[in-house]
Structure 1
Amino acid sequence: MKMEIEETYDLSYAKRAVAVLVLLPLIVMYTEAVLIPSLPTIQKEFGITQGDASWILSIYLLVGTVSVAIMGKLGDMYGKKRMFVVALSFYTAGVILNGFAPSYEWLLFSRGMQGIGMAIFPLGFSLVREEFPPEMVPEVQGMISAMFAVGMVIALPLGAYISQNYGWRWTYHSVVPFAILMLILSVLILRESRYITPGKLDIGGILLLMAFVVPAIVAVTKAPTVGWKNTQTIGLLGISALAFVLLIFYEKRVENPLIPISVISSRNPMIANLGIMMAGFGIQMMNQANTYILQMPEPYGFGKTILQSGLLMTPNAMVMLVVAPLTGKLMVKFGVRIFATLGAVIGGIGLMLLAKFATSSSLPGFIALIVLTGIGITLMNVSLINVLIFSVDRRVMGVATGANSLFRSFGSTWGPAIAGTVMTTYSRIITIPANPPMHFMIPTDKAYEVLFSSSAAVFFLLFLISFGIKEVFKGGFEKGGMYKSATVEDAL
């Protein structure tokens, strides 16, 4: 017998909570992006190699990829707000310690603490789905998605300015007051989730997940430097593949799995997870190419500084700020599948045009193509997260969103690695007149063509996959926020 899920929602609370959950991605993306312009300075201060410096970025991703799955499960077991606050506390502590790091090892440790905080995103997505009126959820998810791009746009030029004029440590000191403020507001404003599922933590699943994630990320991070055919690379990828197989078999048989295979492999969650991984891969390859085209000296690029490059991304961020919440609002009426397919095809077309004209177009034309592609990416991202959160039982929402973040991280890790390999393969050495002359290895037009066209192929594949989405807004919403088709039987 079906039982309707009778729920009431506090709209005034939802509006207060939106401020916290929407501003957090802005702060986190700013914090992460300001590090990029500072890496050469950090490398020089600590006397480390370029390979060592890359680990300052990688350790955050490595720890975070494991953290999102574990903290998502703990959120289901002990309360999503509670674990959200724990994750944000780790992130805030990491930000504070970063600015005072006396050594490279200290900085790696504090960056790892920040990585634990990556779990705030899947936990935040879960809180939105549980505590907000259903018709409001897609629009809020759209606003959250848009803030990721806005944070990056603000961070690159501002981070470069702060690092250049005040030192790299102040890029972190400048964030600390805002991080502490958001932690306090989270404690005071957010409410505990209404869905808590007690259980035991799956230690075996955690160990197998680490054996799967850590070797894979280490291999992919080092592969562009040591080579994809290097024995170490092949060995690490082999260990990761074996651990993945064992993880699947183990999680299917354990009573209280860390990652319930039946949840992530059902139709809509599987499409959302696969789609977000592919999108992350394509987006990172595109971003790598865009950065080089904007900053390479003329006539090999547009010869812009980091500050100028960040400012040139402002139109894309502004468009996303409008498109993302509007998409969320409209998909309640028209359905999610149409926006997912539309986003994939717009993104694919934009990338194909970039593959053909990126290196020969004017700067305004290049920015226009980035904006077009950004619209497609926005439609796709907003669609995929809503497909996921409206397709799974809210008692396992933390696990589902945590697994989705894990897939996103994997795609985002592979993207730069493949892009770096492509740009190394298709490159040439140029000499810039100076005293003494300066020699640089730069990507050729063929490198950009391969990167953009490969990213386009990913999005066209996403277009085909999106047709498999089972519509989640088909029933619509009753007056007062009830989702017509939401029943206990449907959820399970």
Structure 2
Amino acid sequence: MESSPPAARPGAVVGILAFAGIVAALTQTLVVPLIAELPKLFDTSASNASWVITATLLAAAVATPVAGRLGDMYGKRRMLLVSLVPLVLGSVVCALSSSVVPMIGGRALQGLGMGVVPLGISLLRDVVPAEKLGPSIAIMSASMGVGGALGLPFAAAIAENSSWRVLFWVVAVLAVAVGALILALVPGDRPATRSTSFDLLGAVGLGAALICLLLAVSKGADWGWGSATTLTLFAAVLVLLPAWGWWELRLSEPLVDLRVTVRPQVLMTNTASILVGFAMYAQSLVVPQLLQLPEATGYGLGQSMLAMGLWMAPAGLMMMAMSPVGAKLSAAKGPKVTLAVGSLLIAAGYGLSVPLIGADSPWSLLIVTLVCNSGVGFAYGAMPALIMGAVPQSETASANSFNALMRSIGTSFAAAVIGVVLARMTTDFGGFQLASQNGFRVAMLIGCGVGLAAAVVAALIPVRPPTAPLRPAASNSPAGVPEASESKA
């Protein structure tokens, strides 16, 4: 059995877990500067090279709910360490790859480690004192934004000035460092459930349904939305998801307790999470393109990849800076209000962007990303608090992992919808078809509408009052996140 160090300072624990989240986010964004170069680097087609991103998305979607359930069964700290293993191995495989197949395999391994963030958030409930839990959750949630924002300039700088392989070696070293810090300084937690049986069939069923759904959504534009492959995948989802739900409801210890997920507070929070995930990701698809398109288009700003990353980086830092403010709002008014305010801020950022597209300065787009990511910082800190306030202690990790999965599904749909809009609304530029200025405006208006929809859903979340006395962290139920009733009815 792994060693369980004595309780560490809360600040150190939160810092280490946030560092883990930053490394996980960095893993997702570090290939962005390489996308255009991958076909040439590996002597393959652009379609094959796109699987370098798709493989990570699919593996993460399957691994995240599984890691959450295993965290509840065997301990969240232990599963955090286990999740870092494929992250390290995948990085090494990618660094050593000389063809696209092992590169895709390495990226899939990296995706298996994406349960780090929901596991880290869930572990906070067990090891952080009650009075520090709210801010700690907010900081941990914001780590994904920081890693994503810093990853772009970091990856672009290395790709432009060194070998692309260095990117993966750096991530491997950082993941090893995270594991060492967790072993040395993060206290152990007790498994939240005595269950010794893992719902393998449920994991396979959910994984198959998610793969079919995300493949159809992410590849539908390439294959054709009306193609036999895309329609078959959507049809498979319609068969697999109900079958999986039927199976889960039969079990006393399922992979995902659907009786808990349909509780109004959990169901509405997960619905809002899909919308927030969509709204968060849409602007990250639009703004980088506007920054990099040629100035001669009349709306592009002609920035290099590295300059684009540097203009995007402050938004991620703003997400981290606003997370304590969001935590204070949650403490005063409740996380439901924080989620609604965050969603409204996201919508406001999108609305602000519409007249600013075409402005002759990257500062205008910087303002847009700062406003949007301020809202994301509020929302991402509030959602785990709402989830943990409505689920039993024994299902903290699996419920948070399922919530993270909902956000990922939202980002996948954002990529599909915004991709279709920008592909259909084009203009001719020197013989090349580029997304038009109106196309970018429509994309941002869609993001604004989704942000407003998230605010409405958040306002309708029926927050349940605590059903048990609040206990200190030593008894594994910090105040700040009410202990939900253990009843699954």
TM-score, normalised relative to structure 2: 0.91
1:92 matched to 2:84? The reply is no
Matches within 5 A, 1:86-485: 86-197=82-193, 198-298=195-295, 299-360=298-359, 362-431=361-430, 439-471=431-463, 483=479
CA contact (8 A) 2:470 2:482 kept: no
Residues 343-371 of structure 1: per-residue CA shift (max 9 Å, x gap): 11221122122134323464322321221
CA contact (8 A) 1:162 1:170 kept: yes
Partner AA of 1:78 in structure 2: Y
Equivalent-residue separation in structure 1 for 2:13 and 2:333 (angstroms)? 27
Residues 146-183 of structure 1: per-residue CA shift (max 9 Å, x gap): 32222223221221121122121111122322221111
Partner AA of 2:216 in structure 1: A
Deviation at 1:128, TM superposition (A): 0.7
- Shift in alpha-carbon separation, 1:420–1:485, aligned structure 2, 3 A: closer
Equivalent-residue separation in structure 2 for 1:351 and 1:474 (angstroms)? 36
Partner AA of 2:405 in structure 1: L
Deviation at 1:238, TM superposition (A): 1.0
Deviation at 1:65, TM superposition (A): 0.5
Deviation at 1:86, TM superposition (A): 0.7
CA contact (8 A) 2:139 2:323 kept: yes
Equivalent-residue separation in structure 1 for 2:318 and 2:468 (angstroms)? 28
Equivalent-residue separation in structure 1 for 2:76 and 2:443 (angstroms)? 39
CA contact (8 A) 2:221 2:416 kept: yes
Partner AA of 2:437 in structure 1: D
Residues 36-88 of structure 1: per-residue CA shift (max 9 Å, x gap): 10123332121111111111011011011111111111111111111111111
Among 3, 27, 31, the alignment partner of 1:31 is 27
Deviation at 1:488, TM superposition (A): 6.9
1:54 matched to 2:50? The reply is yes
- Shift in alpha-carbon separation, 1:244–1:490, aligned structure 2, 3 A: closer
CA contact (8 A) 2:336 2:458 kept: yes
Partner AA of 2:148 in structure 1: M
Equivalent-residue separation in structure 2 for 1:485 and 1:153 (angstroms)? 29
Partner AA of 1:19 in structure 2: G
CA contact (8 A) 1:135 1:477 kept: no
Among 11, 31, 38, the alignment partner of 1:15 is 11
Partner AA of 1:241 in structure 2: L
Deviation at 1:444, TM superposition (A): 0.9
- Shift in alpha-carbon separation, 1:314–1:121, aligned structure 2, 3 A: closer
CA contact (8 A) 2:271 2:457 kept: no
- Shift in alpha-carbon separation, 1:341–1:487, aligned structure 2, 3 A: closer
CA contact (8 A) 1:347 1:459 kept: yes
Partner AA of 2:314 in structure 1: P
Deviation at 1:12, TM superposition (A): 4.0
SS at match of 1:118: coil
Equivalent-residue separation in structure 2 for 1:427 and 1:416 (angstroms)? 17
Identity over aligned pairs, percent: 23
Equivalent-residue separation in structure 1 for 2:73 and 2:414 (angstroms)? 33
Q: Give the aligned partner of residue 3 of structure 2.
A: none
Equivalent-residue separation in structure 1 for 2:267 and 2:213 (angstroms)? 21
Equivalent-residue separation in structure 1 for 2:471 and 2:96 (angstroms)? 53
SS at match of 2:369: helix
Residues 99-153 of structure 1: per-residue CA shift (max 9 Å, x gap): 0113211111111111111111221111011221222122112212332222223
Q: Give the aligned partner of residue 6 of structure 1.
A: none
Unpaired runs of 5+ residues, structure 1, are 1-9, 432-438
SS at match of 1:74: helix
Equivalent-residue separation in structure 2 for 1:357 and 1:50 (angstroms)? 33
Aligned pair count reads 476
Equivalent-residue separation in structure 2 for 1:487 and 1:316 (angstroms)? 34
Partner AA of 2:453 in structure 1: L
Equivalent-residue separation in structure 2 for 1:363 and 1:99 (angstroms)? 34
Deviation at 1:487, TM superposition (A): 5.5
SS at match of 2:364: helix
Residues 362-396 of structure 1: per-residue CA shift (max 9 Å, x gap): 43223212212221222122111211122211211
Deviation at 1:474, TM superposition (A): 7.6
CA contact (8 A) 1:335 1:472 kept: no
CA contact (8 A) 2:318 2:374 kept: yes
Equivalent-residue separation in structure 1 for 2:484 and 2:449 (angstroms)? 39
Equivalent-residue separation in structure 1 for 2:58 and 2:26 (angstroms)? 19
Deviation at 1:211, TM superposition (A): 2.2
- Shift in alpha-carbon separation, 1:147–1:476, aligned structure 2, 3 A: farther
Deviation at 1:490, TM superposition (A): 6.4
Deviation at 1:320, TM superposition (A): 2.1
Q: Give the aligned partner of residue 435 of structure 1.
A: none
Residues 377-427 of structure 1: per-residue CA shift (max 9 Å, x gap): 221221112111222112111210121122122111121121111111001
Equivalent-residue separation in structure 1 for 2:485 and 2:415 (angstroms)? 42
Partner AA of 1:116 in structure 2: L
CA contact (8 A) 1:199 1:256 kept: no
Deviation at 1:479, TM superposition (A): 10
Matches within 5 A, 1:62-73: 62-73=58-69
